[in-house]
Each structure stands twice: as structure tokens, then as C-alpha cells.
Amino acid sequence: MFTGIRWFVACLFFIATALTSFNAIARYVFKYVIFGSEELCTYIVLVIAFLMFPIMDAENRHLKIDIFANSSASQKLKDVIYIIRGVISIGICGTLAFYGWRAVDIATKYQSKSSTLRIPKNVMFGLAAVSFVIAVLSWIFILLFNKRRPLKDVS
């Protein structure tokens, strides 16, 4: 699932790695700096994070503390904890999405751009907000329709 996005993210990761490597070589060997490469790499990493966040969350593959998943607690308790985690995630991601859209509005209103490459900031803020909306929708789907047992590894 999400294979196309994973390939896109892999390509972005390759581009960021190559750009950083070339910039380091150019800077320390040839005394030349690739204009805007640090800012572009920062944006690439942000795009990767915001694209992968809802996917990893939906697949239960993000960083988490496995104290409950590996404990001897009953499956019912694990299910309740999983539901609570989902509700909290929906609340946090919903709040971040709401304020993300407000940031998009403000950046659009003031035509805010990045310092070096002059990329419109509303694009990055919009990507973050969409990522959080997708995370909320994926959690709602998981809690309402998913039949897999909560807090079990999907790997």
C-alpha cells in the first residue's frame, strides 16, 4: 500500500542526499557553495516527513513505546489503550491541521516566501495541514472500520 508515495519519497531522499554530498564536496574541495541547497534540502526533508507521517501512523509503524504492546495485559486493555491513543491522535492532529490552515491563510495574505529560494511558505504550511488531515482521516477509518487487532505489529 502507498507504493507510489514510497517511491516518490525514496527519490526525494536520494536527491537530498546527493545535493548535500555535492554541496559538501563543492564547499570544502572547490570553495564553491551551491546556492540555496541547504534550504532546498530542508524543504525536501519536511516534505518527506509530512508525506510519510500519516502513512506510518495508519500502518502502525511509527516510533512508539511498546510497553503495552509487549506487556502481558489482556487484549481488551490493549484495545482500550489503542482506542484512547487514536482519539488523542485525532485531537492533536486535528488541532495541528486547524492551525496549519490558519498559517496557510496568513502566509497567503502576506505573500510570505522563504529567505533564499523564495518558495511560497503557504505551500509548505499547506502540505503540513494536509498531512494532519490525512492522519485524522486514517485514524477515523482505523477506529471505525479496521478489523485488525490493535497494538499488534503489522511488520
User: Over the stretch 73-86, which tens digit does the pLDDT of each residue have?
Assistant: 777 887 787 788 88
The string of DSSP codes covering 2-61 is -HHHHHHHHHHHHHHHHHHHHHHHHHHHSS---TTHHHHHHHHHHHHHHHHHHHHHHTT-
Instruction: Provide the 8-state DSSP code for 115.
Output: S
* Residue 139: strand, helix, or coil: helix
pLDDT of 8 over the 80 cut: yes
Query: What is the average pLDDT score of the chain?
Result: 83
pLDDT of 154 over the 50 cut: no
User: Over the stretch 96-140, which tens digit does the pLDDT of each residue have?
Assistant: 999 999 999 999 999 999 888 898 989 888 988 988 888 888 888
Output the pLDDT for position 108.
Answer: 94
Of 4-8, 79-83, 88-92, 109-113, the one with minimum mean pLDDT is 79-83
Nearest to 58 by CA among 113, 137, 147: 137
Q: What percentage of the chain exceeds 90 in pLDDT?
A: 33
Nearest to 127 by CA among 54, 37, 18: 54
How remote is the C-alpha of 76 from its chain's centroid?
A: 30
> Are the C-beta atoms of 51 and 131 separated by less than 8 Å?
yes
Q: Say how far apart CA 2 and CA 64 lie, in whole Å.
A: 21
